[in-house]
Structure 1
Amino acid sequence: MTDPLLARDARRIERYAAMADAARFLHPVQQALLHRRGWLRMLAPRASGGAELPLPQAVRLEEAVAAIDGSMGWVLTLCAGAGWFAGFLPPPLARDIIGGKRVCIGGSGAPTGYADQDGDGEAAGFRITGRWDYASGAPMATHFTLNAVLRADGQPLLDDQGAPRIRAFLVPAELVQIVPSWASIGLRASASHSYRIDGAWVAKDHGFAISPAAATADGPLYRFPFYSLAFVTLAANVAGMASHFMQLARPCMSRRRHAIKGLPLLEVPEVAALVRAKEQVHAAARAHFYHVLDRSWAMVENGTALTDGDLHALQASSLALVAASRAAVDELYPYCGLYAAHEDSAINRVWRDFHTASQHSLLLP
């Protein structure tokens, strides 16, 4: 398979990563690259103006970007993932949004707001109220997605099991107030701020369901289960950051000597063996991850529904890759010296990004 990232694009991303981290948002050159390459539209339907890339191709691109700058990889992944929801919107609305200038869709998955029914017939819609956290890329978002509890006359609507009904919505950024709240040690440039909406009205066609049965776009991308898509895209980001850390760890170690044995650190047999072992285990987990992803994608492309076993394999291979990534970063870090603890060093930025990204709740073992 060809390299998912052009060398000149990789250089641009790397050149501005430290500045973006310090500024706590992606550098304008990085933002321009996301738009120029159409990466934020890469999972949206072709019929709406997106690229509709095959999922394995998109995941490899996300990993490659994260392996250069974790924050940019994270924004790409979360915002392109929100763009995937265009495949579940009414096609005219999807075309209006995805075809817009410099479109970027951010959002949050937690149902921490309400959608009150408002209006009838063609004037039917919802008034959205609430606050949502962790909207990566919020400052550049043109639209936001959210989950909200449906209400009528102030009372939650219930499903057949008696639980509150939750629906996804897409709202334009002009209805949203960003709440600066992102103060994490890592992924600083992802600017994953909170946002709030205070009684804004949206038409009913801005609400949508996320399931293969509810897809409005043809194509295998919209038959791929949502949680499996989330597992593989998040795991690829973590793996990319871990690869970057291991790449930077060797030069750090090469400058150190073992305090007792007096040898250069990488010439100490136990240390050299540890480095090789972590690299090999990570490479094996990554190879297995892509084997499972490629096989699953081929099944969906051919019209075969994934079984529970297939879904478990996707989740298990994703979590195994995350576990191998955690083991590599955490066990090699002590050998990298105080340089790796310096906030302005590249390896420290990667370490901070890694340990922030890997806190995502889906990635718990």
Structure 2
Amino acid sequence: MTLPTTSPLGARDTRRIERYAGLADAARFLHPVQQALLHRRGWLKMLAPRASGGAELPLPEVVRLEEAVAAVDGSMGWVLTLCAGAGWFAGFLAPELARAIIGTPRVCLGGSGAPTGHAEQEGDGYRITGRWDYASGAPMATHFTLNAVLRAGGQPLLDEHGAPRIRAFLVPAAQVQIVPSWGSIGLRASASHSYRIDGQWVGKEHGFTISPATATADGPLYRYPFYSLAFVTLAANVAGMASHFMRLARPCIERRRHAVKNLPLLEVPEVAALLRDKEQAHAAARAHFYDVLDRSWASVAAGMALGADDMLAVRTGSLALVAASRAAVDELYPYCGLYAAHQDSAINRVWRDFHTASQHSLLLPC
């Protein structure tokens, strides 16, 4: 399997990722060669500020790389996206703390966005307790991010609307206990396990707020809205997996014959048209997605804030790409035969990864 010549992945890196994808899936964690590549290329720091030791790459470049990796191995693309995304939070930390964290050898940030724990005010910091699910790349994480309900005297602190106040935190892995829990059929090598913290104290500087107004780094990356960034990075992963599936589906279909018409499947006009239509629809949705992304990034890089209509366009373009990806995978799968249902086949792994990744709550069709 080869990627287009425009792929941001070099041929050598592509071969390395692909070679170990099946072994990683069977082992239920990224192969050491894949992990080493993530660190050697600095990809896990590509969204962290340059001032803290990160690469601070332009968002369109990041998204295209994430799609390219996911188009070779869904699990590796997912870990890259979620862990590099957590590295983006360094742009909202105190600069000295951000430098210490991003400067950690083989740094990798994992975490979860659900506020399923609490942080009790204590002295000049907080004592954190709780359990959080779905921390992709958990076994290789050096730090974990989380959201927690703030408390004082055992009672939740409330905001101006009477709702519990929630704050984001970043804690060292030494204060975290991983809870093996990832049993999904797909993205098995992402090792997206749960984790818990039992009464661990952190200084107040480990808490942060995510908004352009609270960014401590100056670059446009940290003025790009959080949810817009989440939509484009997740959609790119799903699109990469769908592209991979379609590349593997074509030879599967070519090997099959129509049971009634006694023709090779690709000589059946309806089947040939279906494959062509799904490839074209996916390509069109992808082109529109990148057009919207590139224009939104250009606006932010020029110093403008994305308005509600701009953010809606990013979300709509992302979900349209996910919808085209779902249609391609789901409608082509029945023509791929029992080989595609065999758990050890590459196309089955891609099918499983796709249907796991596309369950993310942000990717609901409405």
User: So what's the TM-score if we normalise by structure 2?
Assistant: 0.98
Determine whether 1:143 maps to 2:118.
Answer: no
Counterpart check, 1:60 vs 2:64 = yes
Q: Secondary structure at the match of 1:117?
A: strand
Could you tell me which amino acid in structure 2 is paired with residue 200 of structure 1?
A: Q
2-side partners of 1:255 and 1:328: how far apart? 19
**Which of 104, 111, 120 does residue 107 from structure 1 map onto?**
111
Matched residue of 1:245: which SS? helix
Superposition pairs of residues 328-347 of structure 1, within 5 angstroms: 328-347=328-347
| Cα distance in 2, alignment partners of residues 3 and 150 from structure 1 | 44
In structure 2, distance between residues paired with 1:39 and 1:285: 26
Deviation, 1:3, is: 2.9
Task: Look up the SS of the partner of 2:161 in the other structure.
Answer: coil
Show the counterpart of 2:322: 322
**1:117 corresponds to which letter in structure 2?**
Q
Deviations, residues 194-247 of structure 1 (Å, cap 9, x unaligned): 000000000000000000000000010000000000000000000000000000
Separation in structure 1 between the aligned mates of residue 252 and residue 215 of structure 2, nearest angstrom: 49
Distance 1:218 1:208 in 2: 16
CA deviations on 1:162-193 (whole Å, 9 max, x unpaired) are 00000000000000000000000000000000
Partner residue in 2 for 1:40: 44
The 1-side partners of 2:260 and 2:53 are apart by 62
Summarize the alignment of residues 148-159 of structure 1 with structure 2, pairs less than 5 Å apart.
Answer: 148-159=148-159
| Structure 2 segments unaligned to the other structure (5+ residues) | none
Measured against aligned partners, the alpha-carbon deviations of 1:1-27 in whole angstroms (never above 9, x if no partner) come to 953111100000000000000000000
Inter-partner Cα distance in structure 1 for 2:282 and 2:260: 29
CA distance in 2, matches of 1:263, 1:215: 61
Counterpart of 2:132 in structure 1 is 132
Instruction: State the Cα RMSD in Å.
Output: 0.7
Residue 79 of structure 2 aligns with which residue? 75
Runs (4+) off by over 2 Å: none
Report the counterpart of residue 307 of structure 1 in structure 2: 307
Query: 1:273 maps to what in 2?
Result: 273
Aligned residue number for residue 15 of structure 1? 19
Aligned to 2:288: 288
| CA apart distance, 1:355 | 0.1
CA distance, structure 2, for counterparts of residue 89 and residue 45 of structure 1: 10
Distance in 2 (alpha carbons) for counterparts of 1:15 and 1:48 = 33
* Aligned 1:124-203 pairs, distance under 5 A: 124-203=124-203
SS at match of 2:120: strand
Q: Measure the CA separation in 1 of the matches of 2:7 and 2:326.
A: 25
Local SS of the residue matching 1:16: helix
Count of equivalent residues: 361
Write the distance in 1 (CA, Å) between the matches of 2:331 and 2:272: 13
In the alignment, the residues of structure 2 paired with residue 304 and residue 45 of structure 1 have an alpha-carbon distance, to the nearest angstrom, of 20
* Whole-angstrom distance in 2 between the partners of 1:25 and 1:281: 33
Question: Percent identity, aligned pairs only?
Answer: 84
Aligned residue type for 2:172: P
Quick check: 1:236 aligned with 2:236? yes
Q: Deviations over 1:80-137 (max 9, x none)?
A: 0000000000000000000110000000000000000001xxxx00000000000000
- Equivalent-residue separation in structure 2 for 1:2 and 1:247 (angstroms): 16
5 Å matches for 1:250-261? 250-261=250-261
Pick closer, same or farther for the CA change 1:257–1:2 going to 2, 3 Å: closer
Q: What is the aligned partner in structure 2 of residue 30 from structure 1?
A: 34
The secondary structure found in structure 2 opposite 1:282 is: helix
Separation in 1, partners of 2:6, 2:282: 21
Aligned counterparts of 2:145 and 2:65: Cα–Cα separation in 1: 23
Quick one: distance in 2 between partners of 1:304 and 1:207?
27
Give 5+ residue unaligned stretches, structure 1.
none
Q: Which amino acid letter does the alignment assign opposite residue 36 of structure 1?
A: R
